[in-house]
Structure 1
């Protein structure tokens, strides 16, 4: 980082981050402005920004979001989300805390099979409608479920994109993640439920009149277009199957989502313009700007410098190294998107594991995965799912501010990382 471009890139990134935090200007404007400055100072260029697999815009993420937003847009027209909202509220007896617990558990389980972004795209509309029916503020429920998505995503290889990178570099299998991280993810979901009971206690106001109205509703009456619903659910099931069968089919999730969206629009009577109108374009623009800014940090060697410094500090200290990897990854992933961070740290971690004579299931790999996945809950832009939910909330006139999310995110991240630290100590004997 001797080149002035590196320091300039840091200044641009920190300045943009400060603007996003302050909310003086819209986060999309801040991200796009920061991306423009990264290009203007030469921290990155058009080739790196648009075509580089390592430091450019992650088009797989952009088009995965686009495809799933289009599918969700079609499903919204069927009344499916109203049906699910009424059904869920009735199952929870219209009691707010029971509703939140149900959403947390469903979201966490779904995120273990799908990626966390796809999960929140499907669950958020149900949440908004449920809160509307119960006259409850949507923000606490949306925040709880996006955190559940990030926690649930730690359980499996396909739950969070960083896990895929780690599995590829370390030679880990789907079952390795299930054995080592799924039990912890289940515990962390319980921790999240306990924290939500305390953090959002003022939200859980039971309204008997509203509850009686909900219990009297017939959820089947909410379905407006049964034929379109069947078409949408068949396509959605095929898309989910494509995600799960990725190791066999070798189709990227973005390709599967776009194919599903294309097929659904082709076989249904929904107008293309209507579907495109449901897409969260500001969210996609924000991601593009964020990717370009992070690419500037990668191209100028800033992220590599930080990662190398961390590896030098760890050295061959296995016991302290795992704890340091967990903590540092959680902090950095709360600020920098965890995908490029893990992509940079994976080869460094592989070298450390090799030098220690470790195996593919070395504790450092699990520390890296846990820190990167759980650290995403720390801030409003720490994980892709967070940004998506903030966009959905804003579009539905239920805005969630940066600090509103982050003040709860820091609590949840601190607690879950602490439990993960104890888990690593107990499971791998790091206290001895």
Structure 2
């Protein structure tokens, strides 16, 4: 199986996530010799034996002092069959936001479980977050099997319990010892009862490709290109689906339809373009399309209200009466949320934006169904959201106007850009007091 596979590890603290990734990198020769020498020296200083595999990913001083993972560590390696990006995420509950960050772009999640303790609460929490983020393929790595004498019953109990936890997802369970390397790269002689592939062989062959290409075509417009008077193109990165010259598409939110005349790139025109490619579409008709619009081949949601699952990442709690900036694809709008959330909370909220967005549910499309929330006072990324469904618009005669609506009205009432900027600045200062 060729192509790039994005992987994240998850699970409770001290289940051996960093050790497993270190062992995987070391045995697959995904680390340089100077890194190996550095880790061997650090391992000797810590009295951790010949080599502490967790040090290949835990690079922060606080991580090495405490023996835990705090930040997301990304590692890149390749075998003859596939390229990989590994995200080692923290297991502590207080770093849930970092785990969500690492899982948000992953195709497969490796959930580690200590064979002695079984499925713990943080394992359940991480499995829920991974599913919430759209991951449908799991590897259940039942680790530290050497400490239970490679007991088949302990492995099968963990496997069966986890399968119920992520019902509907694909699960491949493997009994491993990250410290000793059992079933990480090659089959272990200490698990003759296990007939499935080891961790690396499975990751080399797991099929996760095609999901984005099979989805409906979506291209959020990033830039309108007009280098000469006879060329107008709409540039962006294809979020999902495929497109060919002659295909009919619609520009949203306007709803005007036309056909694709050309697919232009720096290297020349293409006969076909698919998800992940950055292209410029030239349309047969000159229609009004600008940055933030979405070109799609079928109907897509357009609205100002939707429900979403939000992971809150800011130490300052979510304030329902306070406006935030919402970045969705290539558009940034003011927005308000109706429920309070604290750091590392995950909750379903209703979102109201100052102007309509063009979106899908996150279950249908990761790109057009996700957004980030930014605190306008600090520019801090306060939260990440996954859209669940569109909500009906509130009636225009509602007595209460949200902060986002007040900001939008003030901007629309201005007679110039400078006046709009000043009106919005004064209103934001008033709301944030």
Task: Assess same fold via TM > 0.5.
Answer: no
Q: Which has the higher contact order (CA 8 A, sep 6+)?
A: 1
Question: Structure 2 length as normaliser, TM-score?
Answer: 0.25
Larger Rg computed on CA atoms: 2
Question: Structure 1 length as normaliser, TM-score?
Answer: 0.26
Question: Is the helix fraction higher in 1 or 2?
Answer: 1
